[in-house]
Amino acid sequence: MNVGDSYGAMEVQYIRRHHKHQPRENQCTSALVKHIRAPVQLVWSLVRRFDQPQKYKPFVSRCIVKGDLGIGSVREVNVRSGLPATTSTERLELLDDEEHILGIRIVGGDHRLRNYSSIVTVHPEVIDGRPGTLVIESFVVDVPDGNTKDETCFFVEALIRCNLKSLADVSERMAIQDQTEPINQ
């Protein structure tokens, strides 16, 4: 992962602190950043829901969790048609509500993402004088036979970009609703 190519100083600091992947020779890794015009608590309330990724991940049609939503819990995710997969089995590796860190590892499914692991961190920031959120998602994954590292990273980054855009859309819509709802007296 090339840290510093297109990130600001704060982003680089967060990536170095929280997104430590140790890729092997046959793996690729990357980190993506999204600035969201919604408060960190609102964004984190969506990201942390290991049991409901479909709240903002457009490729997820259904999710069933086995376990108590603690570290080690496993979810079976059904993927919408149009992707080269129908299911993914994922384990919750890290959930830190104070630092706003979520870590997930894919442990099975009918797709080509082998040894996939991701970390999502959520950080408060100010955007145009209002509370905003910096979201960073990083991953490491095996490069499948017949693919290059660049092709593999490009594919995974495209999925993550779509998820982050959807997270921003949902969060920002919720933030606007929160601002416009009348206060009950």
Domain ranges of the chain: 28-179
More confident residue, 40 or 182: 40
Max Cα–Cα distance, the chain, nearest Å? 63
Return the CATH fold of 28-179.
Answer: Alpha-D-Glucose-1,6-Bisphosphate; Chain A, domain 4 (3.30.530)
Look at residue 2 and tell me whether its pLDDT is greater than 70.
no
* Exposure string over 144-179, b if 16+ CB within 10 A, otherwise e: eeeeebeebbebbbeebeebbebbbebbbebbeeee
Q: Return the DSSP state at 17.
A: H
Count of helix runs (H) and strand runs (E) in the chain? 3, 7
**According to the model, what pLDDT value does residue 12 have?**
79
Q: What is the pLDDT of residues 44-102, one digit of tens each?
A: 999 999 999 999 999 999 999 998 889 999 999 999 877 778 999 999 999 999 999 99
**According to the model, what pLDDT value does residue 9 have?**
80
